[in-house]
Structure 1
């Protein structure tokens, strides 16, 4: 392998990590649903722990890919586009898994629909501006905070169960309240993207 090809693979690594976040996120969410459907407690525990571990790995990769890209000078427009999409796939997959596990709880489901719907809309707006010379709709600081809040909320049920609070009914709707807060924040953070997207068509 030549030095130039080695350098090429190294510079592609941040984007590969980003793409893997999508794959691992979907897999982890699927394992969580399977854990809820398992009739064997030991199997359910293994699946749930595996799901939690995959989420932690995926969440950490959100820091690693950006740090690595800056460290090796591989920051790119493609990476700037893929990174928020990967975050949305990760968050959306787990939130949808929680909705399925709750059997479409009437309080949780609308909040998740708002979050996922907002993310689909913003992603569509980004993809519609791919021919633009600038980064298509750069991520705002508010949206970064929103993503961090989403990840904390997803991690929280795993942490509560691990600390012994397995009486889900006792804390579930408090957690749902947090999801609604995140949903309202998601809707609010979509406004700058909408303004910028539509201002470009005037």
Structure 2
């Protein structure tokens, strides 16, 4: 068990969890929320590497036959910690503001609702597999958050960096609604059947 806990796929998951506070620290200088260009680019690269580990840990676990209970448990937790903390950080520094906050709220609510559903269904020994469109949703979400983390620091290179991130955030919010509905439609029949 201890050997499986420290295999490479799990180490990548642990690294993703460790990346969360490091990304947040990039936005804090002297205890205040600030985001210099250097801090934004640093946060972006940390986030980009963490996002790549999200793909790699599951892929490597499957091809190397190194799946483990701790990996299955921590992988979705690491994903939700990463996405949620970055959304909250971007809302706090007002990169995400106004109507765009609704896109962030949709994404956060779906993550919490699907986690609750999965936990309930796991107790019933029912598995809800990740769909292809859910993977597209995650990709759109990660790309959107990458653009938004760079924010105004990237506007010097590509003038529409922030706008592109906001547009992609709305795309991922719409995909979030669709995939959330898909999960609940598949899961709720088990809830109804139990009663």
Do they superpose with TM above 0.5?
yes
Shift of 1:80: 3.6
* Aligned residue pairs, count: 189
CA distance in 1, matches of 2:103, 2:93: 15
Aligned to 2:181: 191
CA distance in 1, matches of 2:176, 2:170: 9
Alignment of 1:26-175 (within 5 A): 26-28=21-23, 30-34=24-28, 37-38=33-34, 44-76=36-68, 78-102=70-94, 105-134=97-126, 136-157=127-148, 158=150, 161-162=153-154, 164-165=156-157, 172-173=162-163, 175=165
- Structure 1, unmatched stretches of 5+, are none
* Mapped contact 2:147–2:164 kept (Cα < 8 A): no
CA distance in 1, matches of 2:86, 2:4: 33
Aligned to 1:16: 11
* Mapped contact 1:26–1:94 kept (Cα < 8 A): no
Shift of 1:66: 1.6
* Mapped contact 2:20–2:81 kept (Cα < 8 A): yes
* Mapped contact 1:26–1:90 kept (Cα < 8 A): no
CA distance in 2, matches of 1:162, 1:23: 25
* Mapped contact 2:146–2:165 kept (Cα < 8 A): no
CA distance in 1, matches of 2:144, 2:101: 15
Q: TM-score, normalised by structure 2?
A: 0.80
* Mapped contact 1:112–1:183 kept (Cα < 8 A): yes
Shift of 1:101: 1.1
Q: Deviations over 1:59-95 (max 9, x none)?
A: 1111221232123211245534432332222122212
Shift of 1:9: 5.2
Shift of 1:114: 0.5
* Mapped contact 1:92–1:116 kept (Cα < 8 A): yes
